[in-house]
């Protein structure tokens, strides 16, 4: 209570002094100091344009001369910034226009000295505020800042960000980039191999000393070098509408396409002809060691069609390619020349079933270290060295190298209902197993590299084999329709279309292929002769029989219509007789004999 009374007494005494002074001087008892009403930039503002004109607005009419002397600007190092100070008495605004553009990303202090007066001579209280200028725009490519000297990348397209806080707009070419908070975005920009020079216009807005809104444009230029080397994760795109010549990753991945080649969707040209290629690393596929990069081939729906990584997924796209193209993969440099015999290409097409690998075979070139196969379109391609591990391989005897080669290339498969670890070269009694017509024609078609368009539409050539619902079916010897390997009917119908195989017309009019029927040696002679060429168009039956009689003592048991083919197949070295000088035309061709026959065809016709 004592302290409270003492405070009241002091307050009254102070008021008495103030009123007494006012009485003597004739001035108001309490003079009001002018105050700052508003200013730009606001205190604590960031991303302020470097060409800014600073203004301060007062609540009273101010004395111009005191403002000119009392308004100052300093940088974060305490250095005064020169500039012009002016005052607009109508707006009650003081302006500070720096003599030159401010520094980027720098904190500045604006100070109004207490020496500044209003027109009545009343001084303001000292006033200070701070702001920070904008950071110089930064170009970011796939999350990496691009320095002035440029940036090397190994992927295209790239996602570009212009980090330009405070900018009103960023323009690339004629395109205004999408803004998100403080940055601007350009997604899926396609680079060309080599140096790509990019230039962006970064637009800022500010007010001048007259209060007018002005724009300032900054040019941000950087170079991005697409090195296009073969390395894990490397991505490149190609527009087939501009060129059908594809050679990327240091020219190690090459695709040769026929004239007029284009991507198709639902039977017509796809709206986008963009392909994307990605190099990946794998170490084993289906138990076989990988001897190349894995190349993922995808379709891009368009230059702005979402993120590219979404395209490299195993899904049904509806995109198809016509036959006739060839793709060459580079084989690892540490592979020995001898190993090339069993190097093959596995292909996993985009069908919504990841890991559904198909053996495409392929022609190897040990000197160029490449392997070439038909280009099947979208999906994954990888070269592997297939490892032979079958229990019954010894039964092949001198033809073992033929069996091993054809199996490695995906031309020969284990026989149906064969136990795991067996190729089905011998039956349960240890005798050489025979081969069916269907299996032999499929083997031969693969060896010849016969192609068919996808999506495949069954031709309906034969009544007892057909392709439907993405699978092949054939009538077995009991008359039941059963599934056979997926692409079997495709190869059979393509072989028939090329005149390599025919069928049997039944009395009821049905035209049968007889997939599961045994293939006789004389029938095999006709098929292999048609495949190897040249075609036999004219022959003298008497001369043919005379020649056969000198080769085989059972020549008369050869079907007269097939005698020219047996003679040609024997003379050309495809089919030989037995040690007892017999040909045994009605005997079923064994799987081992079929392997030797197809292998010899590939050697003589340079198909390996």
CA–CA separation, 85 and 97 (whole Å): 6
pLDDT at 304 (0 to 100): 59
CA–CA separation, 348 and 580 (whole Å): 48
pLDDT at 505 (0 to 100): 94
Which SS3 state, helix, strand or coil, does residue 284 take?
strand
Q: Is the domain of 242 the same as that of 359?
A: yes
CA–CA separation, 160 and 448 (whole Å): 48
Instruction: Give the mean pLDDT of 569-590.
Output: 95
Q: Is the domain of 458 the same as that of 585?
A: yes
Per the structure, the complete domain to which residue 215 belongs is given by 138-226
Q: Is the domain of 106 the same as that of 222?
A: no
- Check if the beta carbon of residue 487 is closer than 8 Å to that of residue 351: no
596 φ/ψ angles, rounded to the nearest 5 degrees: -65, -40
CA–CA separation, 525 and 589 (whole Å): 10
Instruction: Give the mean pLDDT of 150-174.
Output: 94
pLDDT at 295 (0 to 100): 98
Residue 119 in any domain: the answer is yes
Residue 598 in any domain: the answer is yes
**Cα 205–chain centre separation:** 40
Q: Is the domain of 43 the same as that of 114?
A: yes
Strands 175-176 and 169-172: antiparallel
Instruction: Give the mean pLDDT of 560-586.
Output: 94
* Predicted confidence (pLDDT) per residue in 352-369, tens digit: 888 899 999 999 999 999
* Predicted confidence (pLDDT) per residue in 7-53, tens digit: 444 444 444 544 444 444 455 545 689 999 999 999 999 989 898 99
Q: Is the domain of 503 the same as that of 576?
A: yes
* Predicted confidence (pLDDT) per residue in 203-236, tens digit: 988 777 677 888 889 999 999 999 999 999 999 9
Mean pLDDT computed over every residue of the chain: 91
The position carrying tokens 């403002």 is 67
> Tell me, what CATH number does 114's domain have?
2.60.40.1220
Q: Is the domain of 418 the same as that of 565?
A: yes
Q: Please report which confidence band the pLDDT of residue 502 belongs to, taking 50, 70 and 90 as the band edges.
A: very high
% of the chain residues with pLDDT over 90: 79
Edge-to-edge, what's the strand order for the sheet holding 264-265?
268-269, 264-265, 319-320
* Predicted confidence (pLDDT) per residue in 241-285, tens digit: 999 999 999 999 999 999 889 999 988 999 999 999 999 999 999
**Could you tell me which residues come within 8 angstroms of residue 288 by beta carbon, excluding any fewer than 6 positions away?**
346, 384, 385, 386, 387
The C-alpha angle with vertex 212 and arms to 206 and 214, in degrees rounded to 5, equals 40
- Check if the beta carbon of residue 432 is closer than 8 Å to that of residue 426: yes
Which SS3 state, helix, strand or coil, does residue 92 take?
coil
% of the chain residues with pLDDT over 70: 93
Q: Which two tokens stand for residue 393?
A: 């391989």
Instruction: Give the mean pLDDT of 286-310.
Output: 85
Q: Is the domain of 311 the same as that of 418?
A: no
Residue 218 in any domain: the answer is yes
Q: Is the domain of 431 the same as that of 579?
A: yes
Q: Is the domain of 429 the same as that of 373?
A: no
> Tell me, what CATH number does 249's domain have?
2.60.220.30
Which SS3 state, helix, strand or coil, does residue 152 take?
strand
Q: Is the domain of 172 the same as that of 203?
A: yes
Between 456 and 254, residue with greater pLDDT: 254
Q: Which of 133, 149, 175 is the last residue of a domain?
A: 133
Q: Is the omega angle on the peptide bond into residue 157 within 30 degrees of 0, that is, cis?
A: yes
Q: Any idea what DSSP says for residue 337? A: G
User: Where are the extended beta strands (E) located within 142-248?
Assistant: 144-145, 151-153, 158-163, 169-172, 175-176, 178-180, 183-189, 194-207, 213-226, 235-239, 245-248
Q: Is the domain of 475 the same as that of 591?
A: yes
0.85 exceeded by the pTM?
A: no
């Amino acid at each position: 209570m004592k302290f409270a009374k003492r405070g009241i007494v002091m307050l009254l005494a102070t008021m008495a002094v103030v009123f007494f002074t006012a009485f003597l001087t004739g001035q108001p008892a309490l003079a009001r100091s002018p105050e700052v009403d508003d200013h730009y930039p606001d205190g604590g503002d960031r991303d302020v344009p470097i060409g800014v004109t600073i203004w301060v607005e007062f609540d009273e009419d101010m004395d111009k001369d005191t403002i000119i002397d009392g308004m100052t600007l300093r940088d974060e190092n305490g250095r005064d910034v020169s500039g012009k100070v002016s005052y607009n008495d109508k707006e009650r605004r003081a302006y500070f226009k720096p003599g030159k553009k401010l520094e980027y990303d720098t904190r500045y202090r604006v100070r109004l000295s207490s020496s500044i007066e209003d027109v009545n001579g009343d001084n303001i209280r000292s006033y200070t505020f701070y702001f920070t200028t904008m950071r110089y725009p930064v170009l970011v490519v796939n999350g990496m800042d691009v320095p002035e000297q440029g940036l090397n990348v190994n992927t295209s397209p790239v996602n570009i960000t212009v980090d330009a806080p405070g900018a009103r707009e960023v323009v690339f070419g004629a395109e205004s980039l999408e803004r998100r908070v403080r940055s601007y975005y350009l997604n899926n920009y396609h680079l060309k191999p080599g140096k790509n020079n990019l230039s962006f216009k970064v637009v800022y807005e500010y007010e001048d000393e007259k209060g007018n809104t002005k724009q300032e444009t900054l040019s941000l230029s950087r170079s991005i070098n697409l090195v296009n080397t073969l390395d894990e994760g490397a991505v490149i795109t190609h527009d087939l509408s501009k060129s059908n010549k594809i050679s990327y990753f240091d020219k190690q991945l090459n695709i040769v396409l026929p004239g007029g080649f284009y991507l198709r969707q639902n039977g017509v040209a796809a709206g986008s002809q963009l392909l994307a290629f990605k190099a990946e690393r794998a170490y084993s596929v289906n138990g076989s060691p990988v001897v190349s990069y894995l190349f993922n081939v995808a379709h891009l729906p368009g230059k702005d069609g979402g993120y590219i990584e979404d395209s490299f997924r195993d899904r049904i796209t509806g995109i198809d390619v016509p036959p006739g193209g060839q793709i060459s993969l580079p084989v690892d440099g540490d592979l020995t020349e001898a190993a090339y015999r069993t190097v093959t290409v596995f292909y996993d097409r985009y069908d919504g079933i990841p890991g559904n690998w198909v053996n495409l075979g392929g022609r190897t070139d040990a000197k160029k270290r490449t392997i070439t196969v038909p280009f099947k379109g979208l999906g994954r391609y990888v070269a592997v060295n297939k490892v032979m591990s079958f229990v019954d391989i010894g039964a092949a005897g001198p033809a073992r190298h033929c069996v091993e080669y054809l199996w490695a290339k995906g031309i020969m498969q284990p026989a149906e209902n064969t136990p795991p670890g067996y190729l089905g070269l011998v039956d349960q009694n240890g005798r050489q197993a025979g081969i069916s017509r269907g299996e032999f024609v499929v083997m031969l078609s693969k060896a010849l590299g016969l192609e068919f368009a996808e999506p495949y539409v069954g031709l309906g050539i034969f009544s007892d084999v057909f392709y439907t619902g993405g699978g092949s079916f054939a009538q077995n010897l009991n008359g039941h329709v059963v599934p056979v390997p997926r692409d079997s009917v495709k190869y059979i119908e393509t072989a028939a279309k090329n005149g390599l195989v025919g069928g049997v017309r039944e009395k009821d009019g049905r035209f049968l292929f007889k997939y599961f029927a045994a293939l006789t040696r004389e029938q095999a002679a006709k098929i292999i002769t048609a495949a190897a060429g040249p075609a036999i168009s004219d022959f003298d039956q008497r001369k043919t029989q005379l020649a056969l009689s000198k080769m085989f003592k059972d020549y008369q048991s050869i079907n007269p219509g097939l005698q020219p083919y047996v003679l040609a197949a024997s003379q050309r070295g495809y089919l030989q007789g037995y040690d007892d000088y017999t040909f045994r035309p009605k005997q079923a061709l064994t799987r081992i004999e079929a392997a030797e026959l197809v292998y010899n065809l590939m050697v003589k016709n340079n198909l390996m």
